[in-house]
Structure 1
């Protein structure tokens, strides 16, 4: 039995750049992924720029989703953390994630945050996902 996911943009709320204001999971189980960091299999930081780190995060998130039998279209919530207070940097991260193989994950309820720092030295991006199984 496949869990039904419904995405809604209610009347009266502002238009979005691709995500939906509300995501409803009708029934079923969910998977909560730990924050996906730009770390390679050996635990070292991959990429010294935002683009390289986003690409590693996409690879890691796809592997984590696959491990529980989920695909990007089953993501019901995402939170993206970027070490920057510059809107063009935040927008570039959103655009790269949306254009990636993980792109369908960002049509759901999403939040994009600029933050002061993340957990690993040199880390610029982190991604938190929830998926309906």
Structure 2
């Protein structure tokens, strides 16, 4: 657990499966990551037609991008999960994969259905902000 990050909950709000806010100590460097896409190294879309498979690939991509800046999923302070679907069941399936990847580090997150994402056959994308010690 990154001691510079404090996850905030409130007994006045519903018992959501994530923190409502995060506070980052000013002694850390903020890292704004591009949306992690479900792309293979050759640029093709992974797990075509499979929401859970694409979510897992996005988590893998996000994890590698974090590693490149000396961070891990435990350094993430916020995510936005985009799902190309209007079906809540698809969004829920993706959220389960993301939630499982983050485990107890249940950072504030926005889960949203969108019309279309940038790559052909892309169903999922995960944006993140992380806090890394100097």
With the length of structure 1 as denominator, give the TM-score of the two structures.
0.90
Which residue is 2:6 aligned to? 6
Residue 12 of structure 1: how far off its partner (Å): 1.4
**Residue deviations 1:61-98 (CA, integer Å, cap 9, x gap):** 11001111111111000000001111111111111122
Cα distance between partner residues in 2 of 1:106 and 1:82:
21
**3-state SS of the aligned residue for 1:85?**
coil
Which residue is 1:42 aligned to? 42
**Deviating runs (4+, > 3 A) in structure 1?**
none
Cα distance between partner residues in 1 of 2:3 and 2:124:
30
User: Residues 104 and 117 from structure 1, CA distance in 2 versus in 1: closer, same or farther, beyond 3 angstroms?
Assistant: same
Which residue is 1:85 aligned to? 86
**3-state SS of the aligned residue for 1:96?**
helix
| Structure 1 unaligned blocks of 5 or more | none
Cα distance between partner residues in 2 of 1:42 and 1:22:
37
**3-state SS of the aligned residue for 1:116?**
coil
Residue 106 of structure 1: how far off its partner (Å): 5.9
**3-state SS of the aligned residue for 2:63?**
helix
| Structure 2 unaligned blocks of 5 or more | none
Cα distance between partner residues in 1 of 2:63 and 2:112:
21
Which residue is 1:124 aligned to? 123
Which residue is 1:29 aligned to? 29
Cα distance between partner residues in 1 of 2:76 and 2:15:
20
Cα distance between partner residues in 2 of 1:39 and 1:61:
11
Which residue is 1:73 aligned to? 74
**Residue deviations 1:5-49 (CA, integer Å, cap 9, x gap):** 1111123112102x1001000121111110011111111111111
Residue 105 of structure 1: how far off its partner (Å): 8.3
**Number of residues of Structure 1 aligned to a counterpart in Structure 2:** 129
Aligned runs of 1:49-68 on 2, under 5 Å? 49-68=50-69
